Amino acid sequence: MNLDSELYLNLIRGGAASLAQRRQEINDLNVFPIPDGDTGDNMYMTIEAGTHASGNTLGEMADSVSQGMLLGARGNSGVILSRIFAGMGKAFKGLKQADSKQFNAAMKAAVEEAYHAVSQPVEGTILTVLREGVAAAEGSAGMEEFFDLWIAGMDLSLQHTPDLLDVLKKAGVVDSGGAGLLCIAEGMRDALHGDVLSVMPSEASASPAPKVDFSAFTEDSVLEFGYCTEFLLRLQRSKVDLDTFDESVIHDWLETRGDSLVFFRDGSIVKVHVHTMDPGAVLTKCREWGEFLTIKVENMTLQHHENHMDERFKRTGKALGIVTVASGKGLTATFQEMGADAVIEGGQTMNPSVERFLEAFDNVGAETILVFPNNSNIILTARQAADIYDKSKIVVIPTHTLGEGYYAMANLQTDLPLEEITQTLEEAAKAVTTGSVSKAIRDTAEARTGEFIGFSGKDVLCCCPERPAAVQSLAQKLSAQNSDIIILLQGADAPADEASQLQNDLQNTYKNTEVILIDGGQPVYDYILVLC
Amino acid sequence: MLKIYTDTDTDINPALAAEYGYTLISMPYSVDAKTTYPYVDFETFDGHAFYDMLRGGVLPTTSAISKEQYINYFQEDFKSGNDILYVHFSRAMTNTFDVMDQAIAELKTQYPATRFEEIDTKGITTISYAIVREVGDLVKAGKTLDEVLEWAKTEVDKFAMYFFADDLKFFRRSGRVSGLAATMGTLIGVRPLIHMSQAGKMESIGTVKGRPNAMKALVDKVAELGDEIGKHRICIGHTDAPEIAQEVGRMIEDRFGKQNIEYVYVNPTAGSHCGPNGVGVCFHAIHR
């Protein structure tokens, strides 16, 4: 059996459908007993973004899948997943279809590409599972055999991930990214056998609906950005001749009515994304060719507002711009006050996609843009966005926590040469210790459900039944007496009077340190301690 | 007869001005288009209420007084033929004295015999306060105008002032501190250490992490540059941070023994540029 364009897309869809069914299981493979970067959701949203691809040849299809995933990639595992398919895309370039040998070669290319995606590959992760799986399938006679051996190899490798990574062993789980990949591979194998799960949840159900602030567009607002208009149009036999219809007619007409056009046809379905001032005209016109399956129209002023853009910074030609990632009103406001031109909503439980970064870069429009991802699981996404963006020079400062991002930004001196700025910021970020306190959502060896755990990086440092005691204990474990400033970021679930009392108590304990309380309003972490 | 003048930007209040015989020129600030002249529109300065207003987000503006207002202040003494000495805040920080120059030029054509002299304290608020008081002391002790001017030639540059503020937005907006332009926004917890330069301008000389370190940095500056500090007042100015100011005072006395320390509430016009929770130390130094 040869792999052609249609089969390839089916494999992707099969993989996505399989992951959709089991993504909660993957989400639950958390190292920490707190709501964490949801690997299952991230990987699903990434692969789902590849399922809308189109292309006549295998090469075109694989490229389209790769492009889709590139833009949809979320979280580290999502970015790596997108690189796996990018590697295959590169290997299939120019091919109408691929035989078993070419498929084998493409999988090897996928491994290489995935390893290249991370600067310091860690074994015991999705990378190991992929590599060992592909190695196990090497030399297989056909695609069916390849998938059987690949899956068996990955399964075996996955079981060994706790031997390679201590954090997994401690938490008693296998690597979630590897598990997600195995799940995708199983779905692909089912698709290869013609057995595709028909139900694939929409993106909307995968992520909570964003809160839209309608006050951003008032009775007196002027429509500046138009409407983001997306729809799936089913071409109708009663309106067009499906066999001979050239969809470029629709494409060309849409180009006269808007911009940011994304357009492709898959069988009788046409997918359209366009920014237009007059969605009514677009919809009316498109009904000349078919009927709508779905329609989504959003006022882009609200979308822009949601992106926390500060209108003051919308001017172009600014020399240096700043894009940062944060969740919580207080933190967003703090970062804006510090000079961030765009604050992308995101964090531990909601990793923004590459596309979100690209939008933010576009909106900031500065010659050079410094990016502070503020989460280990977002750094790769930011770097991927930086790699594909060519309108500005993008420099990602690899800040792993909100605290690192905060303190690095506080040290920004814009009049230095860029290399010096980057060096200063990276050094500043490294000088920070961040600790967090969260409520345990399941029992572990260290904590019972409902208790408050204090941790820094991947180390659980303390556990207390009371929240303030957990913060005090965490501060002690992190040797807060050696820092000059303690910034206490109060989370959404921490009451104001408790936070204020805690600030006083910490100030009394650490007299030679300045304790600063900021109402961060961040989710998940009741308190974040930033020691600098 | 020598008549001495100073302005409210030097933190001198009417009681102290009267004690020395200073005529006090009121330098205004505005909030929401309402202009207030210190000690004209109010009798006593409620520093806490004023800086609380700033904490609440109000950003006052300051403005220069008019030529006519200067003429009104000086006319009587010009007419009487008195010698006039105006000890004022830094020329390098304002254009108000360009307006004054026009007023003086006009008065001089009318009263050519009157002598008008100035001492530029090359600073504002606490550092000016210290110099205005020293000049006042000299005049009180019977020094002549020329003797006082001679003293000022060397001594003004020997008053050093180092301070920090909590919130950079006030400085940033006023644009009166050099070296700050390159940093971004409000740096919570990271404070610039600012000093009054020889040129009479505010200059950031670096940042300090955490308030305890910032306070220590002020005391370190006294140790580094202090000159005959026991013979002069040490003035600690603050923008509604009396406890921090007093703690700095205690730290100075712990290190250098008992001192003649005065605590000064920074006047609202200068305070509009610094914002609340700032503390600074003025002391006699080998240089600024």
The CATH number covering residue A465 comes to 3.30.1180
Cβ distance A355 to A328 under 8 Å?
Answer: no
Query: Which of the residues in chain B have pLDDT under 70?
Result: 168-169, 171-188
Structure tokens at B75: 């006319």
Instruction: Say whether pLDDT at A313 is over 80.
Output: no
| Chain B CB contacts of A485 below 8 Å | 189-190, 209-210
H or E, element range at A514:
strand A514-522
User: Is the minimum CB–CB distance between A508 and chain B shorter than 8 Å?
Assistant: no
A467 pLDDT band, cuts 50/70/90, is very high
- What is the CATH number for A390? 3.40.50.510
Instruction: Please choose, from the candidates B235, B216, B213, B108, the residue with its C-alpha nearest in 3D space to the C-alpha of residue B160.
Output: B235
Residue A422 inside a domain? The answer is yes
Residue in chain A nearest B216 by alpha carbon: A512
Instruction: Say whether pLDDT at A204 is over 70.
Output: no
Same domain as A319, residue A243? no
Give the model confidence (pLDDT) of A377-435 as tens digits: 899 999 999 988 888 999 999 999 988 998 888 778 777 889 988 998 999 899 899 99
Instruction: Please choose, from the candidates B181, B140, B145, B165, the residue with its C-alpha nearest in 3D space to the C-alpha of residue B1.
Output: B145
Instruction: Say whether pLDDT at A256 is over 50.
Output: yes
| Chain B CB contacts of A484 below 8 Å | 189, 209-210, 212-213
Residue A218 inside a domain? The answer is no
* Domain closes at, from A430, A453, A471: A430
Same domain as A105, residue A90? yes
Range of the domain at A525: 433-531
Q: Give, in degrees to the nearest 5, the angle at Cα B58 between B56 and B62.
A: 150
A37 pLDDT band, cuts 50/70/90, is low
Instruction: Say whether pLDDT at A4 is over 50.
Output: yes
Distance from first CA to last CA of chain A, Å, rounded?
60
Give the separation between CA A360 and CA A304, rounded to whole angstroms: 9
Same domain as A164, residue A19? yes
Answer yes or no: is the ipTM higher than 0.90.
Answer: no
Same domain as A397, residue A442? no
H or E, element range at A116:
helix A100-117
Residue A220 inside a domain? The answer is no
Same domain as A456, residue A318? no
- Look at A422 and A319; give whichever has higher pLDDT: A422
Instruction: Say whether pLDDT at A310 is over 50.
Output: no
Residue in chain B nearest A321 by alpha carbon: B184
Please report the pLDDT score of residue A198 as a whole number: 45
Give the separation between CA A293 and CA A414, rounded to whole angstroms: 50
Interface contact flag, A411 B190, Cβ < 8 Å = yes
Residue in chain B nearest A415 by alpha carbon: B182
Mutant choice from B191, B208, B209, B213 vs A, greatest count of A C-beta within 10 A? B209
Residue in chain A nearest B187 by alpha carbon: A410
Give the model confidence (pLDDT) of B115-146 as tens digits: 999 999 999 999 999 999 999 999 999 999 99
Please report the pLDDT score of residue B68 as a whole number: 93
Tell me the percentage of chain A whose pLDDT exceeds 70. 90
Report the DSSP pairing between strands B279-284 and B261-265.
unpaired
Structure tokens at B42: 């109010």
Please report the pLDDT score of residue A306 as a whole number: 42
- What is the CATH number for A54? 1.25.40.340
Instruction: Say whether pLDDT at A92 is over 80.
Output: yes
Give the model confidence (pLDDT) of A489-508 as tens digits: 999 999 999 999 999 999 99
| Chain A CB contacts of B184 below 8 Å | 322, 338-339, 409, 412, 414
Hey, which residues does A527 pair with through a beta bridge? A437, A490
Please report the pLDDT score of residue A36 as a whole number: 54
Cβ distance A362 to A303 under 8 Å?
Answer: no
Average pLDDT over all residues of chain A: 85
Structure tokens at B146: 């020329």
Please report the pLDDT score of residue A139 as a whole number: 84
Instruction: Say whether pLDDT at A206 is over 50.
Output: no
Q: In what order do the strands lie in the sheet with A290-299?
A: A259-266, A269-276, A227-235, A290-299
Interface contact flag, A412 B213, Cβ < 8 Å = no
Please report the pLDDT score of residue B181 as a whole number: 44
A231 pLDDT band, cuts 50/70/90, is confident
Q: How far is CA A464 from CA A315, A472, B229, in A?
A: 49, 10, 53
Tell me the percentage of chain A whose pLDDT exceeds 90. 45
User: What is the pLDDT averaged over residues A204-226?
Assistant: 61
- Angle in degrees, 0-180, between the axes of helices A58-72 and A354-364, rounded to the nearest 10: 70
Residue A291 inside a domain? The answer is yes
* Domain closes at, from A233, A268, A301: A301
H or E, element range at B227:
none
Please report the pLDDT score of residue B94 as a whole number: 84
Same domain as A498, residue A410? no
Cβ distance B31 to B20 under 8 Å?
Answer: no
A137 pLDDT band, cuts 50/70/90, is very high
- Look at B241 and A449; give whichever has higher pLDDT: B241
User: Is the minimum CB–CB distance between A484 and chain B shorter than 8 Å?
Assistant: yes
Same domain as A358, residue A289? no
Q: For tokens 């969740």, what's the residue?
A: A327
Same domain as A491, residue A390? no
Same domain as A192, residue A126? yes
A283 exposed, middle or buried (CB, 10 Å; 0-12, 13-18, 19+)? middle
User: Is the minimum CB–CB distance between A449 and chain B shorter than 8 Å?
Assistant: no
Interface contact flag, A338 B186, Cβ < 8 Å = yes
Cβ distance A70 to A93 under 8 Å?
Answer: no
* Domain closes at, from A366, A401, A430: A430
Residue A414 inside a domain? The answer is yes
Give the separation between CA B250 and CA B245, rounded to whole angstroms: 9
- Angle in degrees, 0-180, between the axes of helices A126-136 and A75-92, rounded to the nearest 10: 30
User: What is the pLDDT averaged over residues A427-445?
Assistant: 88
Same domain as A243, residue A160? no
Give the separation between CA A154 and CA A156, rounded to whole angstroms: 5
Structure tokens at A334: 């703090």
Instruction: Say whether pLDDT at A259 is over 80.
Output: no
Give the separation between CA A284 and CA A1, rounded to whole angstroms: 44
Please report the pLDDT score of residue B178 as a whole number: 62
Structure tokens at A463: 């556990």
| Chain B CB contacts of A514 below 8 Å | 189, 210-212
Residue A32 inside a domain? The answer is yes
Residue A260 inside a domain? The answer is yes
User: What is the pLDDT averaged over residues A46-71?
Assistant: 91
- What is the CATH number for A265? 3.30.70
Same domain as A439, residue A347? no
Tell me the pTM.
Answer: 0.61
Give the model confidence (pLDDT) of A379-390 as tens digits: 999 999 998 888
Give me the number of domains chain A comprises.
4
Instruction: Please choose, from the candidates A309, A375, A363, A318, the residue with its C-alpha nearest in 3D space to the C-alpha of residue A336.
Output: A309
Give the separation between CA A39 and CA A44, rounded to whole angstroms: 8
Q: What is the DSSP letter of B8?
A: G
Same domain as A157, residue A50? yes
Please list, in sequence order, all residues whose beta carbon lies within 8 angstroms of the beta carbon of residue A45, skipping any fewer than 6 positions away: A72, A74, A78, A203, A206, A207, A353
User: What is the pLDDT averaged over residues A300-325?
Assistant: 59
Please report the pLDDT score of residue B180 as a whole number: 55
Residue A35 inside a domain? The answer is yes
